Amino acid sequence: MAVLPATPPNIARAAGVLRNGGVVAFPTETVYGLGANAFDPRAAARVFEIKQRPCFDPLIVHVLDRAMLGRVVAEVPDDAERLIERFWPGALTLVLRKRPAVPDLVTAGSATVAVRMPSHPIARALLASTELPLAAPSANPFGYLSPTRAVHVERLLGASIDLILDGGPSEHGLESTIVALEPRPALLRAGAVDVESIEAEIGTLARGLEGQATTIAPGQAGQHYAPRTPLRLIDLAAVPAGQRARAGALAFREPVEGYAALAVLSPSGDLREAAAYLFETLHDLDSRGLERIDVEPVPERGLGLAIMERLRRAAGK
C-alpha cells in the first residue's frame, strides 16, 4: 500500500492498478471512494471484502461522461435527464435500470444500478485514464464514519488497499444524495445536494423505500456512519456538568463549557459548512479516547436533513 499525491503520473499508475483488477482509494467532492473496475466482479468482490460490507448492499458506479453512462445504464428516463442536466457532474446519485454488463455483485442482484458523475478533477482524471466505470463505495469499514481525507482511509483500511491517491480534503464532506426514479421519484438517501433543489426540478420526492426497486435502504443495516465512541443526540445545554468531564461535545453554533473536548461545526450557522466538517470532526473526536460524544441536533432544512440522517444512524436510532 502507498499513499501518493494525486499527480498525473500517480493517477496513471492508479489507472493501471484498476485495469489490472486492483483497488484504489481516490478523492471525490463528497467523500473518498474505494474504487474498482465496475465490470469486473472479482475486483468488486475485493471492495466488499476490504470494507467488510455485506453483499446485499450494492455499490455506486462512477462515470466520466454520457458515453460511459451509456455503457452502464439501459435507459435514462425524462426526470433523470432533467436531474443530470442540472446536477452532473456532482453529488447526486441516480438509481437507473442497469445494462447486463454490470455484474450482479455490484448491484446486489438488483436490475438497477446507482450511478453518478463526479465533479472532482482527480476522480475525473482517474476515470479518463482507466476508461472504465468505477464501482466505489465510501472508503471506510462498513458502518464506520466516512473518510473525508486520505489519512482517514490510510488509518482505517490502509493495509488492504493497493494504492491511495491523496487529493486533499473533500469539498462537501458528506456522501451524495441518492434518488430513484422508478416506480416514482424517491429520495433514498439525503446527501450533499439538498432535497429542495431536486424537488424544484422534478417535483415532490417520495420518502422512504416502500415499493422501490430495491429492498436495501442505504445504511439500513443497523448502526451506520458511527464512530467507535458511543454517540448521542442531545440538547447540550441540558447536559448536567457532572456528565461532561470525560465526554466530547459536537456543537452546531455555540461553544459549551466543561467538556473534555469540544468542536463547533459552524459558528455562523451555515449548514453547508457544518456538513463539510461533520465527519472530519467526528474522526477527530473518536481518536481521543472519550467516554461518549454528545452531539447537538441541527435544523432539518437544506443539508441539515442529510446531517441529521447520519447523526441518527450514528446514534443507533
Residues that bind ligand TXA in the complex, under the rule CB under 6 A: 28, 30-31, 33, 57-60, 93, 95, 107, 110, 112-114, 136-138, 175-176, 178, 188, 214, 216, 218-219
| Angstrom distance (rounded) from CA 149 to CA 287 | 15
| Angstrom distance (rounded) from CA 138 to CA 143 | 10
Shortest Cβ distance from residue 219 to ligand TXA (Å)? 5
Shortest Cβ distance from residue 162 to ligand TXA (Å)? 17
Residue nearest to Mg ion (CB): 138
Closer to Mg ion by Cβ: residue 14 or 31 = 31
Q: Which amino acid is residue 285, in one-letter code?
A: L
CA within 13 Å, CB half, 109: 7
Residue nearest to ligand TXA (CB): 137
Cα-to-chain-centroid distance, residue 97? 21
Shortest Cβ distance from residue 241 to ligand TXA (Å)? 38
Q: Using alpha carbons only, what angle is made at residue 136 by residues 41 and 98, rounded to the nearest 5 degrees?
A: 60
Q: Which three cell numbers stand for residue 83?
A: 436531474
Closer to Mg ion by Cβ: residue 110 or 138 = 138
Shortest Cβ distance from residue 26 to ligand TXA (Å)? 8
Phi, psi values for residue 281, rounded to 5°: -70, -40
Shortest Cβ distance from residue 66 to ligand TXA (Å)? 18
155 Cβ contact partners less than 8 Å away, ≥ 6 residues apart: none
Residue 138 makes contact with Mg ion by CB under 5 A = yes
Shortest Cβ distance from residue 303 to ligand TXA (Å)? 13
First to last CA, the chain: 36
92: which DSSP letter?
A: E
Closer to Mg ion by Cβ: residue 147 or 185 = 147
Closer to ligand TXA by Cβ: residue 98 or 292 = 98
Q: Which amino acid is residue 210, in one-letter code?
A: E
Of 120, 107, 123, the C-alpha closest to 180 is 107
Q: Which three cell numbers stand for residue 304?
A: 441539515
Q: Which does 214 bind (CB under 5 to 8 A by kind): ligand TXA, Mg ion, none?
A: ligand TXA
Closer to ligand TXA by Cβ: residue 178 or 285 = 178
Q: Using alpha carbons only, what angle is made at residue 212 by residues 210 and 215, rounded to the nearest 5 degrees?
A: 80
Q: Which does 105 bind (CB under 5 to 8 A by kind): Mg ion, ligand TXA, none?
A: none
Closer to Mg ion by Cβ: residue 292 or 310 = 310
Q: Where along the sequence are the contacts to Mg ion (CB under 5 A)? A: 138
